[in-house]
Amino acid sequence: MRTLLLLLAACATTPGAPEAPDAPAPTPTVPAQACEAAGTLTLFAIPPPVALDWSTPNRLLSSVIASRSAAADLVKAGDAAITHSIGHVNLQLDCGDLSIPLTGQTDTGGGEDWQAGTDGAGLLLRDTPGALDAMADIGDPDETAADIAAREASGNVTRVSFRVNRAMCQRLKSFVDEYVARGAYNHYDGASRARRFEGAGCAIFGAGVVDVGGLLRRSLMTPAWARTEMIGSARIGNFLGTGHYRYGGNLVAVDDAGTHWVWPKGVDVPASATSPVVIYSSVLDAWHGPEDTAFDVAGLTGAMQTELPFTIYDPEMMAEWAEDVWAQANDNGQAMALGVPWTASVTSGAHEVTYDASCVAPQTIAFDADDDDLFADSN
């Protein structure tokens, strides 16, 4: 049971992110003579085998249980090597001496089973031991490679690729190297922002690498690739824990009215529910409601007095987006999405969409100096 709920913290929450227009994206470009593709960054978006129901925490858990069984069947059939009940995101940069091996943020199986049944939506915020898939000592690079190979052959993964110049390779490699050097990979949870070296979930890490490069405008990417929700305080338990959860840069949301909410920077999240928030209890039949009480945090206004803003990049949304773009590009030769042109191809049995970003200059701001609002362009 711990595994079922802990996986939620890595990769998703509830739907409702507002759509952003696919306006042309002004991107910094390099001189014409430097518009030479030196490598390719690829994200491997693995959807859950069963579509998940994010309408309430309880329905989410029920759909994860169904997806877990289907994921095991995929492995038994040889169509995958790792179950990934709610999906996963891996990435790879093929760029000579600046390459990044096939990797991704994952957990190492830490945590306690009883916490899954007592902390309600607090599981989405729990900081658990993490690793990168490429780390031979704590990850499993061979199993990851086998999983991607099996999924490409069976079509159970979608590839999102960017052709990039050498300067971009340097930027991306430098970020991942610093992420490792700072030990950010040790923190696996849904609230952390990868580019601020807080840690990450799987899709958070993949989207973070795209973001630090400036390969896509974040104001367009986030609504397409991320779930957003306001989580009521009564749903956040921390039974027999510290009474709070670590601050993370993904404590941001856009509500149904289009209002942007950003949790105070550096402020931990109080767990207002001091008694167990038991799975399948009625309070988890909604993400917020009249049961919620004010957080013990000074200066909060409006809905944020009782509701926590939360946004997380989701492999299911990323895979669905990529498949939609692939279908359009396959039919028309090219598709415009997130402000840039994409082409369609097939690698083994996997659909792949590719953006030629070889003329895009890498972002130059400090990795952790991005805008606080995930729904705003990072720079």
Residue 31, pLDDT score: 62
Sorted by sequence, the CB contacts under 8 Å of residue 34 that are 6+ apart come out as 165, 167, 359
pLDDT of 318 above 90? yes
Name the residue type at position 74.
L
Residue 7, pLDDT score: 41
Sorted by sequence, the CB contacts under 8 Å of residue 300 that are 6+ apart come out as 264, 294
From 21-25, 77-81, 338-342, the region with the lowest mean pLDDT? 21-25
Please give the structure tokens belonging to residue 168.
């971009």
Residue 123, pLDDT score: 86
The burial class, CB within 10 Å (0-12 / 13-18 / 19+), for 369 is exposed
321, 337 Cβ separation under 8 angstroms: yes
pLDDT of 113 above 80? no
Segment 213-240 shows an average pLDDT of 95
